[in-house]
Structure 1
Amino acid sequence: MSLFQDALAVRENAHAPYSKFKVGAAVRSANGKVFVGCNVENSAYPEGTCAEAGAIAAMIAAGENKIEEVCVVAESPVPIAPCGGCRQKIAEFSSPDVQVVLADLKGETKRITIGELLPHAFSNSHLPGE
């Protein structure tokens, strides 16, 4: 199964009763394993979880810590990009040249790097003592 198919499939499990905007995400780790996540809304906005954050959390919980590729799928007139917080989360576990595939439900995609999505990302190199 491709990252697009994985993200498309998990999107169906999204809990989006408020926005009605379901999102699915799949990340491939450096070891080739795929982890998926979907958005989970909560009536106490903004306490929900983004699809990308869920996929990254699953990757970390499985003992992986390096993203090689990401795919985000949603029903939208144009492929959507991750929110700012998720861009930072992706940047934390990848390099600037990692591909982020943005897709709609029909499979129309746009490829962009995380470096293009989040130029000048904050990193541990900005922290004292690093």
Structure 2
Amino acid sequence: METAELISAARQASQNAYAPYSNFKVGAALLTKNGEIYTGANVENSSYGLTVCAERIAVFKAVTAGEKEFSSIAISASQKDYIFPCGACLQVLAEFSADIKVICTNAADNYKIYDLKDLFPQIFTL
């Protein structure tokens, strides 16, 4: 799987975001170690704490389909600066694949690839 293909899938997923409050549409494309892609888009709620990020939706879709090992995730939004996962999303990613690569993009589809441990050095584990 090419990085550009994963970014494209994330960009396409962002078009399905439900973001009437922030107008900040985010898409994520999660690549499993089996080569499957699961996408997600953020879903806002008027009770802001109930909003769910694109990354977690992609992970939850994959897990409910039986996948639990991931190799990379691309995150896309139409903002000038690079988009990064929030702490909650990083922790959910760490639950399943502490070695996952995180591909952060900007509006021009430039990207930077990080190891999860570089973005989230103090992973919570039991």
Tell me if the contact between 2:80 and 2:107 (Cα under 8 Å) persists in the aligned partners. Answer: no
Equivalent-residue separation in structure 1 for 2:124 and 2:56 (angstroms): 17
Instruction: Indicate the percent of aligned positions where both proteins have the same amino acid.
Output: 37
Q: How far apart are 1:55 and its partner, in Å?
A: 0.1
Shift >3 Å, 4+ stretches: none
Asked if 1:22 is matched to 2:12, the reply is no
Matched with 1:6 is 9
Matched with 2:37 is 34
Matched with 1:92 is 95
TM-score, normalization by structure 2: 0.93
Higher helix share: 2
Larger Rg: 1 or 2? 1
Alignment of 1:51-70 (within 5 A): 51-70=54-73
Equivalent-residue separation in structure 2 for 1:67 and 1:92 (angstroms): 11
TM-score, normalization by structure 1: 0.90
**Aligned residue identity for 1:101:** I
Tell me if the contact between 1:8 and 1:105 (Cα under 8 Å) persists in the aligned partners. Answer: no
Which consecutive unaligned segments of at least 5 residues does structure 2 have?
none
**Aligned residue identity for 2:60:** A
Matched with 2:77 is 74
Equivalent of 2:111, from 109, 112, 117?
109
Equivalent of 1:44, from 19, 22, 47?
47
**Superposition RMSD on alpha carbons, in Å?**
1.1
Q: How far apart are 1:76 and its partner, in Å?
A: 1.8
Which sits farther off after the overlay, 83-92 or 72-81? 72-81
